[in-house]
Structure 1
Amino acid sequence: MDVNGTVTEGFEAVRDAFVRNFEVLGDRGAAVAVYRDGRKVVDLWAGPKDVEAGDADGGGDGGEGGEPWAAGTAQVVRSATKGVAAVVPLLLHQRGLLDLDAPVASYWPEFKAGGKERTLVRDLLAHRAGVPALDTALTPAEAVDGLSGARAVAEQQAFWEPGSAHGYHAQTYSWLLSELVLRVTGASLGQWLAQEVTGPRGLEFWIGLPQAETARVGRVGPVDPPQTAGGLRTRPRRNVSEAWADPSSLTRRAFAAITPLPDENDPAFRAAELPASAGTGTARGLAGLYAALLGDTQDGTRLFTPETARLAGTELSSGPDRVLVVNTRFGPGYMLHSPASPLLSPASFGHPGRGGSLGFADPEAGIGFGYVTNAHAKSVTADPRAQALVRAVRSAL
């Protein structure tokens, strides 16, 4: 298998782990990038651009006629989008435009319905808002029309007293965060991100893929990891499996807030501004964004002040997750290091994407990390391929 890109001396273990992901863990097409102290030290890609072109055995050589993954190939990263989206409310807070201790209803009056009048902005960001599901699921068209989602979560009766517990807002996070940002700035979250963050820095990541970028995006799809994964294949706990099998459970309802689930290869889905699930980017763009939070690679400026970086890694939720049915930890918009979602260290903040993708920053080590794949496995928070790469980075350090 051909691996393209570069690795700085001392980070060869990351390349070895990347190769093993294809040879043993069933990757098809993927890329990984790592920045350390603002300097790119890993930038690798391999396999086919489209998941269907990969070998059935996971060899990843592209198959007959498959277009190879290129330096600028981008993919949908599912919930890894949430970590990118979280940059927007934290920058608004940093600029004095958004108070995390204010009620959401002070910016969005309609949200106070359904027992949510005391919900704070920090509750919304930390999955404590109490609306991880909807009594009536939205259609794919309603999910992206810019109106129906916000109206539905505003009218939804809270499933628990906001602020008293947490549960992963898998899909509803899109409309909660989008509407909050719209009310504060007058712009959509994807527009604000492009204008203020990714565009000026040339970062290859979009929440709302522009038409001009569609040709670079590969097709994603589900895959089953091989049984020869050396014990690293994740198996859902029995209680998670039972919760998913129960149509009335919050687990099932949270992930099915859009029914039927959208086609992630549909250009309309990629163009939609769904900050919970529809971000599209390269590994370099994902890692570069997290690196820019700590210290920009071009001129030494930071997106986050040291205080905001500390805030991003501050625990706001921990313990039993009412949706994921495991113990999870969240900061304001970010998933934090835990046994359920291991990152580089307890200082790390970022977000995985169901099926494999992962992005995070580690302020102590000065690391910005991004991994994207077109082969979506049956993992939620700790994909074996992403974890192998994180371990390799840790060993390099």
Structure 2
Amino acid sequence: MTGGRYGTLSGARRTYATAADGFSGFVAPGFERVAREFGCNITERGDTGAAVSVYYEGAPVVDLVSGGCRTDSVQLVRSVTKSVVAVLAHVLAYRGVLDFDRPIAEVWPEFARNGKENIPIRWVFSHQAGVTALDRTLTVEDILAWDPAVAAVAEQRPNWEPGTAHGYHDLAFGWITGEILRRVTGRTVGTLVREELAVPLGLDLWIGLPDEVRPRLAQFLPAPPLSSEVQRDPRAKALRTSLADRASFASRALQNPDVSEVEHDPAYLRAEVPAANGVADARSLARLYAAFIGELDGVRLVDPKAVDAARREQAAGVDRVVGYYRRYATGFMLPDPTRPMAGEDTGCFGHYGMGGPLAFAEPEHRLAFGYTTVQQQSHAGADPRSRLLAEAARDCAREEY
């Protein structure tokens, strides 16, 4: 149903919002509920400096920015960056450049150390490789330099028998996938994102932010104190306890090193940290997913068969790192109780970022979604800000379909 009644941005009927509403932008007829939820985020859910973008049938139907965020602002999207790398990898696989079932050691011989010689590329993207909690302590300087971090994962012995379990690979995801892509293409992941995705699709999207863009960067605001609900939640409490122990499995996977204090430093932004330091706006995230599941402005990244393969479930169950249920495809999160995207009953695939950001697509209803916010929040379950926006977009798309 591409090329539907919304057509192109210039041809779509739109309702415009102004700063007097608490946000500005446009909404196409039939998607007003998204704007209502966005307004409730501001007035009832403590959101600020936020943006939401929705594409339906390859056309923009929602593009809203709240007060505290300029219309040209960009921001760190943290682990949403992983899905940008995943889209890139699937594009390269579609072109025959990358084979997800090929052993990593065939393209990166140094990775074969300590029992890792048979791990296929796919298991890194699905968090099944078991190379996440590193024994070597890394510094921020190590990850900015790239080679020390890559050497650490090459040397690491698997934390479990690869392929028998899954556990969030966090920062290691970026080093391993980034090095694989560098080995098969001769280009860094940041260069690939720019040349293969951002330029062809007209995206404000970077892994490795150019200095000239940095003045547009909206910086995160601290999260409010933990609510009593979060403090009581046994899953959140167990994870906090593990993270406080620097020798724990979770800490070595999620905080080696802890980059929270340097996220806005020029050196960190300039570097390539493919698991965590992507910079984008909500519009570009939605456009990326729209181009992945269908045609966008004459560009189509892959065919429907490749999309189905990309979102096929690879792992499900209790995650060895975070300690609760997670589902993963090849490079993407799939809906689960704490990360439902537009609903556990949907065919969504995408990725969350710590503190708020979310991007996903639902091919069944030609829906692509991007949400960013500078206001960090912590919730025991799904963040109500993104959840309610996503559900509204889903319902509107279903009604229009």
TM-score of the two chains, using structure 1 as the length reference: 0.89
**Aligned residue in 1 for 2:293:** 294
State the AA in 1 paired with 2:368.
G
Task: Between 289-298 and 349-358, report the one with greater CA deviation.
Answer: 289-298
Are the structure 2 counterparts of residues 260 and 197 from structure 1 closer, same or farther at C-alpha, using a change threshold of 3 Å?
closer
Contact 1:356 1:379 in 2 (8 A): no
User: For 1:116 and 1:128, how far apart are their aligned partners in 2?
Assistant: 12
Deviations 1:63-86 (A, max 9, x none): xxxxxx222111101101111111
**Aligned residue in 2 for 1:14:** 34
User: For 2:37 and 2:231, how far apart are their aligned partners in 1?
Assistant: 15
User: For 2:208 and 2:260, how far apart are their aligned partners in 1?
Assistant: 18
Instruction: Give the match's secondary structure for 1:174.
Output: helix
**Aligned residue in 1 for 2:62:** 42
Which stretches in structure 2 are left out of the alignment for 5+ residues? 1-20
**Aligned residue in 2 for 1:310:** 308
Contact 1:353 1:380 in 2 (8 A): no
User: For 1:355 and 1:44, how far apart are their aligned partners in 2?
Assistant: 19
Deviations 1:136-170 (A, max 9, x none): 22111111212111111000111111111110011
Instruction: Give the match's secondary structure for 2:200.
Output: helix
Instruction: Give the match's secondary structure for 2:316.
Output: strand
Are the structure 2 counterparts of residues 308 and 167 from structure 1 closer, same or farther at C-alpha, using a change threshold of 3 Å?
same
What is the CA-CA distance between 1:310 and the residue it aligns to?
0.4
State the AA in 2 paired with 1:174.
G
Are the structure 2 counterparts of residues 280 and 327 from structure 1 closer, same or farther at C-alpha, using a change threshold of 3 Å?
same
What is the CA-CA distance between 1:259 and the residue it aligns to?
4.1
User: For 1:75 and 1:234, how far apart are their aligned partners in 2?
Assistant: 31
Residue 285 of structure 1 pairs with residue 284 of structure 2: yes
User: For 1:225 and 1:72, how far apart are their aligned partners in 2?
Assistant: 30
User: For 2:288 and 2:177, how far apart are their aligned partners in 1?
Assistant: 19
User: For 1:271 and 1:16, how far apart are their aligned partners in 2?
Assistant: 37
**Aligned residue in 2 for 1:172:** 172
User: For 1:376 and 1:266, how far apart are their aligned partners in 2?
Assistant: 18
Deviations 1:263-296 (A, max 9, x none): 1111221222111100001000111100110223
Displaced runs of 4 or more, over 6 A: 231-234
**Aligned residue in 1 for 2:18:** none
Which stretches in structure 1 are left out of the alignment for 5+ residues? 49-68
**Aligned residue in 2 for 1:63:** none
What is the CA-CA distance between 1:379 and the residue it aligns to?
4.7
Task: Between 102-111 and 244-253, report the one with greater CA deviation.
Answer: 244-253
Provide the aligned length of Structure 1 versus Structure 2: 374
Contact 2:138 2:149 in 1 (8 A): yes
What is the CA-CA distance between 1:351 and the residue it aligns to?
0.3
Residue 143 of structure 1 pairs with residue 143 of structure 2: yes
State the AA in 2 paired with 1:325.
G
Are the structure 2 counterparts of residues 235 and 296 from structure 1 closer, same or farther at C-alpha, using a change threshold of 3 Å?
farther
User: For 1:90 and 1:197, how far apart are their aligned partners in 2?
Assistant: 12
What is the CA-CA distance between 1:227 and the residue it aligns to?
5.8
User: For 2:262 and 2:145, how far apart are their aligned partners in 1?
Assistant: 16
Are the structure 2 counterparts of residues 266 and 235 from structure 1 closer, same or farther at C-alpha, using a change threshold of 3 Å?
farther
Deviations 1:186-230 (A, max 9, x none): 0001101111111121111111111221121111132117969xx
Contact 1:103 1:117 in 2 (8 A): yes
User: For 1:47 and 1:380, how far apart are their aligned partners in 2?
Assistant: 27
What is the CA-CA distance between 1:380 and the residue it aligns to?
8.8
Contact 1:336 1:346 in 2 (8 A): no
**Aligned residue in 1 for 2:46:** 26
Instruction: Give the match's secondary structure for 1:350.
Output: strand
Contact 2:230 2:379 in 1 (8 A): no
Are the structure 2 counterparts of residues 262 and 173 from structure 1 closer, same or farther at C-alpha, using a change threshold of 3 Å?
farther
Residue 273 of structure 1 pairs with residue 272 of structure 2: yes
**Aligned residue in 2 for 1:326:** 324
Contact 2:22 2:42 in 1 (8 A): no
State the AA in 1 paired with 2:36.
D
State the AA in 1 paired with 2:272.
E
Deviations 1:316-357 (A, max 9, x none): 111110001111111111001111210225311100001100
User: For 2:139 and 2:242, how far apart are their aligned partners in 1?
Assistant: 23
Instruction: Give the match's secondary structure for 1:92.
Output: helix
Contact 1:234 1:383 in 2 (8 A): no
Contact 2:233 2:380 in 1 (8 A): no
**Aligned residue in 2 for 1:186:** 186
